[in-house]
Each structure stands twice: as C-alpha cells, then as structure tokens.
Structure 1
Amino acid sequence: MEKVKLQDRLALARRWAVLALLPAALNARAGPDSDATLPDGMQRYIIPMSGCAVEFVAKAGGYADLAEPSPALFGYFRHDNHYPNDRYASDLHFSISCHPGNAKEICPRLMEAYRGVEKDYARDIQLRRLSELNPRYYSEAYIQTWSAIAPPRPRTLGFCIGDEHRAVMSENGDVLLGYDPREIIETRGKPIFKRSEHALPDVLAIIRSMRFVPDPAPNQDIR
C-alpha cells in the first residue's frame, strides 16, 4: 500500500514539473514572433502594401514604406548605413511589388526572364537559382552579375515568395549583393568573389523572416 502511495506522489510530482515548464516552452515557441526575443540591433518592419502587407526582421535604423506612384502595389525597405565600412555600397535596399493569386503559379511567370536564360550566357553571368528561402511560403530566387555595364559589375538577387493568395516580387534592379571587379571573360569557370556577395547572408535572413500580416491601420507606425 505504501509503495502505491509513493508511486502516486511521484506521478503527481512529474505532472507538476511538466506544468511548471509549460510557460517556458510556450514562450520559446512564441519567440520568433516576439520583439523581446529579437537580437540586439534588430527590429521588425512592415511594408504595408494593400493585400500584401509584409513583415520582416532587419538591422535597426532603416525604414519601410509604400512607393510612389502606386502605393497599394509597391513598397520598399532601405537602410542607408547598413554597411558603414563599405565604401562601395554602405546601404541595403530593395523594392517589392504585390501580385494576387497562387505563388506557385505566379512566381514562375514573374521570374520567366531568369528561367529562360541560355546556358552559355548563364555561365558568363554566373547565374544560379536558390529555392526554399522561407519556411512559410513558396519561394525562388536568382543571383546574377550584370553584363551590360563596365566593371565593377553589380551582382544582384531577384526573388519571389508567396502563398495560395498572393506573391511579392523584387523590383527596380533587384537586391544589390556587391560588385564583381572582373571582366565577364575573367569570371568563366572561376569562383565568385566573397565580396561580390557580401550582403547575401543578410538578404537571405530578411527573406527567411518575411511573413504576410493583416493590412496595418492607417495611423499605425510601420517602422
């Protein structure tokens, strides 16, 4: 009988231990959506496009807003001093547009120019595709070096992500990652310079953090 009572007390103690740990577990699960858990120097931004309001995490000190002349369909993020020690590109910025419909159907059409690049040209501009950029949504992205201007040539990333209802796509020259100082013929078969994609980790982290949110109220602070 005493043995049975001891087992009952141990079982009750285990249940209390589980209940005591539950708030911590819930807080850990809620962490990615809580400002309190953001790393130092980071903040949440919202680009408040109608029907495509996008929230993401990036370095503090930037700003996000609607773009003109079509504020309902275009928005942007800009941080003018994201890389204070880079004399070529100290800022980080991108613009996106909103497109209603299923992203799995829309994105391939929106990114058709990248998908249709000839093999030899893709090699010259060191084109490569990235996928599964965001755990919540369908996504695809392409990185390329611009060939139509003299060195140093911009190396940029174009992306499209979305769900069953809408997609957002990068605009206005895509996202600048860095510059390649070489002539095109000098890059064939050669590795990409790390400095030519120095912004890539930050850009991928921003895309990974993106999520669609309800349209902000008219007077809501979006920065």
Structure 2
Amino acid sequence: VYSGGTPTYEKVLAPLRMPQDSAKPVVEKMHIRTGGDPFAEGDLVKPGVLSVIEKHVPAAIPETPDGRRKAFAEWVTDSKNPLVSRVMVNRIWQWHFGKPLAGNPNNFGSTGGLPTHPKLLDHLAAEFMKNGWSVKDMHRKIMLSEAYCRSCAHPDPAGLAEFDPEGRAFAVFEPRRLSAEEMRDSVLAITGELNERVGGVPCRPEINEEVALQPRQV
C-alpha cells in the first residue's frame, strides 16, 4: 500500500512526478479546494468521520498515519453506530425479496425512502451485530422466516391489491428474476442431477472446438 506523499504538479496537464522517498509515510495537510479548483486551498481538514453520526458515536481518529484504519474500523463497527448494520441488512433483505425494507439502498438516510417495517429493520440490525456481523447467519435467518416462505398467491388478491397496491407489506412472496446460478441449480435439482457435495471439479461446459479455437477480439 502506497503511503507516501501525493505527487506534486504545477498545473493540471503537467506530468506527475513521484516523490523520491515514496516508501516513507507522509502526513500531509489536506485543504478544502475552494470552488473545486485544485490550486485554491481553503480550510484545513483533519481525519474524521461523518459529522452527523459523530455527535452520537464519537470517533478517535489519530492525526498520525499509525492506527487510522483500525480506529475507523472500530468506529464503523461500533454497536452505537446506527447506520452500517442497518444498511447491510437492508441490502441482504433486498437480495432475497427483490425490494429493500428502507427506500433506496444507495441513499439510506433522511433523504431516502422511509422503512416500511422500521422495527423489523432494527431487529435484524441488532441480530446482525449480536451474531458477530455474520452474513451467513443473516441469510439463514431471513430465508427461514415466514415472510420468505410465503406463497406468491394470496387468498384474497383483490383485497390485497386494495390494501397494499405496491406490495410493501410483503404479504406474499412476489416472483423475481432468477440469477444464472439459481437457474442452473434449479434445473439440476428438478432433474435429480444436482451434486450437493462440497468441493470437487468446477463446472466445465462443453464448447465446440471450432468456436473455442477462434481468435478473440478484445
């Protein structure tokens, strides 16, 4: 990992010149670039985290290079951090159901969509941290839930359409497009050819020799 100083340049189109002693860690002073101009130095910026969260979860980020990454990692995984665990379980939920619990996963916060099930989101986030941030455990918990095991058909479709036209209540499991891996495994499972043993030779599909020997264009 390069930890030396930023290469200096006199103008935007000038060639970069790497420092002579590039292996030596350098603590540089970072400034806000006024108006986006790389040569207009504004206020000095120190190492830190998101200010909107720091007032609830203080971060001790050292100004020296040693220990910065560890301190930041500890702040990210702090049990008091309200953001990271919720963002993660929200994405895992979206992977299984095709839609997230909270608005746009790429814009998780006050400007994004509100959670449809805030208590469920909080519960999953707490369980995620409690079980050592295990993604596999969260997959298991979601896939064994009643919501995931529901049928795609509702006994009263007309009433459901009136009550929940956007399907935000997860009253039924809405069909979603399968990935290539899911499609392949499903076909093999139906035909009884699915190999459930762990390890072994990877899948090697048959390819026409004439096609395989053709030159590739990149």
Give the structure with the larger strand fraction.
1
Larger-Rg structure: 2
Tell me which of the two structures has the higher relative contact order, counting C-alpha pairs closer than 8 angstroms and 6 or more residues apart: 1
Same fold (TM over 0.5): no
Q: TM-score, normalization: structure 2?
A: 0.22
